């Protein structure tokens, strides 16, 4: 049985390899386009918010699949995006892409680990956490992270969370089951319930789950990666 540290090291190496192999928005890869549902929510906020600008936090930003398009949307009105990732090379690439796509004045990068990061209360209008909360060491840490993110959203602000759960891996050729490499492999139903309870007083636009399957090459071995994808989109209540 692998330890958390071993799985964390493997996951970081896997992401590092993908960022080296694929360009941002490269056709036919998972980096090809941003999360369109998130982009539409952000466009709606930009059109209807009374604030002069929006402050967005993109946790686990990688090389900018969502950060760059979000900056394009909110930048013209003075908005700012802070991209946080544990990989220095990913942040370096994000800075380079920010210059390429002419949003370098909108995006700020910070190195941080979701396991330990501390975010001040009510500090962001939008918090995005796609594919990063499952990289913590325990269910308790996951719940603490959810609570911290909820407290960090300003009243009327948006949180968008995507979490991979119930992960199964197997050799694509032989069908041999493999131990999932993900640090925290949570039950889908339990995770849904924890998210529902944490955001029960929020205006939940979506809390859904759907099955996903992808294949990837790991150490010259074709791996079939099956999981459930949970999506939460919710707005923080406004105090009276």
Alpha-helix runs per DSSP H in 104-157: 139-152
Bridge-based pairing of strands 107-111 and 221-235 is unpaired
Q: In the chain, which stretches have pLDDT less than 70?
A: 1, 49-52, 218-219, 240
What domains appear along the chain, each with residue ranges and CATH number?
A: 4-235 (3.40.50.150)
pLDDT of residue 125: 96
pLDDT of residue 49: 66
What's the token pair of residue 62? Answer: 């990688």
Measured in whole angstroms, the distance separating CA 85 from the mean position of its chain's CA atoms is: 10
pLDDT of residue 216: 75
Q: What is the pLDDT of residues 155-209, one digit of tens each?
A: 999 999 999 999 898 887 888 888 887 889 999 999 999 999 999 999 999 999 9
What's the token pair of residue 133? Answer: 């909360």
pLDDT of residue 237: 94
DSSP per-residue letters across 40-68: HHHHHHHHH--SSS-EEEEET-TTTTTHH
């Amino acid at each position: 049985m692998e330890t958390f540290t071993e799985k964390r090291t493997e996951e970081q190496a896997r992401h590092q390899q993908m960022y080296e192999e694929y360009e941002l928005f490269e056709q036919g890869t998972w980096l090809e386009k941003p999360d369109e549902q998130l982009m539409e929510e952000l466009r709606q906020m930009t059109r209807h918010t009374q604030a002069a600008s929006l402050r967005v936090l993109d946790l686990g930003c990688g090389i900018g699949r969502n950060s760059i398009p979000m900056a394009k949307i909110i930048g013209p009105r003075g908005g700012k995006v802070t991209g946080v990732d544990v990989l220095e090379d990913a942040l370096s690439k994000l800075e380079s892409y920010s210059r390429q796509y002419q949003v370098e004045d909108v995006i700020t990068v910070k190195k941080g680990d979701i396991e330990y990061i501390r975010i001040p209360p009510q500090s962001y209008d939008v918090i995005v956490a796609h594919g990063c909360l499952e990289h913590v060491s325990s269910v308790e840490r996951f719940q603490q992270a959810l609570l911290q993110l909820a407290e960090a959203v300003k009243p009327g602000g948006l949180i968008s969370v995507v979490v991979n759960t119930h992960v199964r891996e197997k050799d694509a050729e032989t069908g041999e089951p493999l131990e999932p490499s993900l640090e925290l492999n949570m039950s889908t139903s339990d995770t849904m319930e924890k998210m529902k309870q944490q955001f029960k007083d929020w205006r939940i636009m979506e809390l859904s789950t759907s099955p996903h399957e992808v294949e990837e090459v790991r150490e010259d071995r074709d791996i079939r990666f099956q999981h459930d994808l949970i999506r939460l989109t919710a707005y923080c209540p406004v105090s009276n």
